Structure 1
Amino acid sequence: MKRQDNRILRWIAVILGIVLFLGWFLLWPLNSYIEGPGNATNLRSFVRVKGHPDPGKGSFMITSVALQQARPATYLMAKAVPYLSIENAEDVTGGQNGPTFDRVQHFYMQSSINEAIAVACQAAHQKVMKKYLGIYVLQVQPNSKFKHAIRVGDTITKVNGHHYNTAQGYQRYIGKQKVGSPLRVTYERAGRQRNTTHRLVKLTSTRSGIGIILTNNMKVKTKVPIKVDPGQLGGPSGGLMFTLQIYEQLSGHDLQRGRKIAGTGTIDADGNVGEIGGIDKKVIAAHRAGATIFLAPYVKPSKLLLKYEEGHQTNYQLARRTAKRYAPGMKVVPVTSFRQAVHYLQKH
């Protein structure tokens, strides 16, 4: 009887051990994230331009990267699937907690939408007014002397009493000051204006700075009401595609011509397209959604640039390589600007 009881206890222990192992294997969160293909969504569901319906018979598609915290099971799966990547949590979030990270991505997205509206309106010869409020603080770096005063979400409106209408204006002024010199910063938080003075830190061998990561905070007013609701999407990478969608509706020009056109890239005030992360995942997402054209940011490769690029390839190089392997039949088009993208879609 005693021997039988011991056998039962051993079986219970084995079963309990298996259950605990499976629980750990499937559910235990690791300090890393898995990036994979997300969605490619028709932008008609995001953009509303009063009195200007989309004349296109195809679609412009915004692409995304799926991001999830790794578990032991999904970590092993990601190791086995070539187009999945494992990223350190610090690299993904910049050390920010969940709510702060989400807020930063919202700031990036809103800045991108504002630039897209302004560029599209100017290209379509529609009246647009831009009011530059300042620069959003997206991250305060550990070496910044302002780290105990300025927070993520604050808007810097003046430095030493000077207001500029671009982030580059602030950066140029601050960059001319000496490392260690005091800088008086005026900023807004929750509608209240505040001031703080601290010393500048060394950013590069030739430049001084506050020690923050930033994006533009501006308001855009248009004659034609334009509403863009990105839903749960965040980040700046939808700038080019938002600009194309808004422009097509404002101008009435059918750039789609029955095609499913996906793409990615930031947009600046001059309509230049900038590189982004995860373009290989976005190409796969676009292919799964039926896209036949993918607009990819282009920069001229150089030895120094490739040293710091994702996978040591530019966005265009990585997108073209990914399409060749996972998206047969998809045309990857290199673009440096919004106007170049429009020209390609008109001529092809």
Structure 2
Amino acid sequence: MSFINNNSFKYYVCGIIQTNGLIGIKLRKTSNKSILLMPYFNITLNSEHKDLILNIKTLFNNVGYIKYNNKTIKYEVNQLNQTKDVIVPFLLKYDLKSYKHKKVILFNTILEIMSLNQHKKNINILLSLMMLSNNISKLNNKYLNKEQQYIVNNKIIDPSINKYMTQLNYKLDNYKPSDMNIHYINGMFDTSGSLNVNLDLNKDLKIIYSMTQDSTEIKLLNNILLFFNCTGKMSYLNNKTIKLSIFDFNEIKNNVLVKLENNLPLMKGYKFKYTNNVLMYINNNKDYRTNNMKIIKMIKMLYKMIENKKNMSEEEYIKKVTNKK
């Protein structure tokens, strides 16, 4: 497991966190009716990737715990010291390269103030922390009276933390994403990406490399296009989600696949292996369009790339594809 300490794996994990990682603050009311702030960090993956989750937990010094569900596995850390001293320093060092990273910077400030424990004695500091936390994920203000809700909703900061706010604003204003790298992109792709490869009606190979992100991350997706030196297309799936698609055959073949040649994603790397196999097959069998046996062989190769086969057999897939031709 020595690879866990490699920078390539650490950047890969950052890519996973960018898409499937959550940070924030939860509220809980104690038995004596005081409000407790609970920081959290978690990553959720499909349960088939248990080994990867275990490796990520090892990367983070084995703090936190793992929760199993029927189809998912979640790694979570919800202790203040563990979140502040292990998780956040990692995220600040390796950088999410995104708008989301600004939430990490904010999260770090919240944890620094919480570690002083003044919010347990001063309700105005607690309300200030709640207001800051709302910029990461919205809190339920049901535990607050109307006056307290007014303070939070109108973003009234307690003067005692002005020093932290000045430092926070400086960090946010001066944040510049670090250089893009393939390992980070692979982490994003494994959790929000897709590689669709199929034959069109003319029996030409069509490849689409895509990934989705929160709509605030259009700059991040543009940086990925620049990294691959591709044109691509941005499309909004809804108000909250944007999709990047690269569909130019030559750009994918000569730019994307070349960059991935020795750096395949850990979860979906097989898709690129089979894609390269198909491209080699086409290069060696330029007459495939007129040879039914060669078409069938290509379709079998394409079948292996399908993530969710929905109990469809190889034979059924061949019939489905050939009936379209």
* Superposed pair shares fold, TM > 0.5: no
- Structure with greater strand share of residues: 1
TM-score by length of 2: 0.26
TM-score by length of 1: 0.24
- Structure with greater helix share of residues: 2
RCO comparison, higher one (Cα < 8 Å, 6+)? 1
